[in-house]
Amino acid sequence: MMTIELLWGHLAQNPVLWLCLTLFAYQIGIWVYQKSGFITLLSPFVIAVAILLVILFATHTRYETFFAGAQFVHFLLGPATVALAVPLFDQRLRLAKLWAPLFIGVTVGCIVGVASTVLLGVLFHASFESIMSMAPKSVTTPIAMGISEKMGGIAEFTAGIVVLTGITGSLLAGIIFKLFGIKKDYIKGFALGVAAHGMGTSRAFQISDKAGAFSGLAMGLAGIVTAFVAPMLAPPLLNWLLNQ
């Protein structure tokens, strides 16, 4: 038993182990997703996150130790985001025709996302730091963490909320689309990009390339708009609500 513990202690410090486990967990997620008949609740990233959480808790491994290996996958987020330019280029004519409603949609979506977070935070008596950490929850992690820090939030907490938002948005998207009778792929994709950032974009590409292209565009625009909207809206709105 002592030998196993010593061996694990040595392996756990090796970033390659966590990189391999991350990739393996995602492959299991893909297999489960396919075998389930593509049930949204069993999406690959949901299964992968669940598997990794069980492993981390069972082995009492710190997040910093895990991320030493997982950072190599995280690094690919940048190239993957740039690669979204390919489907965007394919949809350039449609995007050019819809630029006005798309920009208005992103702006309204970002304002509603930030304002609703502040309102819910006040309703549930969350602290100032918690509310500021959650306000930029719907944009991609690097941007959200930067916005959070500027507003006095906790960047690490923001990262966790962003992931939770992405998972929740991706899971509920299908139900919401059916409930409101949304059938056009570009609308589905755009909504996913605004509300659920990178994970939503991944979900959008499962719908179609067109949905993925619009989701990628929405994700990028939402990051830019939220960087301006969140600091201008969240603190003043929170102060106003607390003084009522």
**pLDDT tens string 203-228:** 888 888 888 888 888 888 888 899 89
Judge whether 128 and 238 are in contact, CB under 8 Å: yes
Total number of domains constituting the chain = 2
44 or 195: whose pLDDT is higher? 195
At position 54, the amino acid (one-letter code) is V
pLDDT the model gives residue 132:
94
The helix/strand count (H/E) of the chain reads as 13, 0
Instruction: Identify whether residues 62 and 177 lie together within a single domain.
Output: no
Q: Which of 19, 50, 75 is the last residue of a domain?
A: 75
pLDDT the model gives residue 86:
72
Q: What percent of the chain shows pLDDT beyond 90?
A: 27
Q: Which of 48, 75, 102 is the last residue of a domain?
A: 75
Nearest to 66 by CA among 12, 106, 113, 123: 12
Q: Which of 75, 93, 125 is the last residue of a domain?
A: 75
Instruction: Identify whether residues 39 and 142 lie together within a single domain.
Output: no
**pLDDT tens string 36-92:** 877 767 778 778 888 998 998 888 888 778 878 777 777 776 676 677 667 667 767
The whole-chain average pLDDT of the chain stands at 84
How far does the chain reach from its first CA to its final CA, in angstroms? 61
| Mean pLDDT value of segment 12-20 | 80
Judge whether 186 and 214 are in contact, CB under 8 Å: yes
Nearest to 172 by CA among 203, 127, 151: 203
> Residue 234 sits in which domain range?
84-242
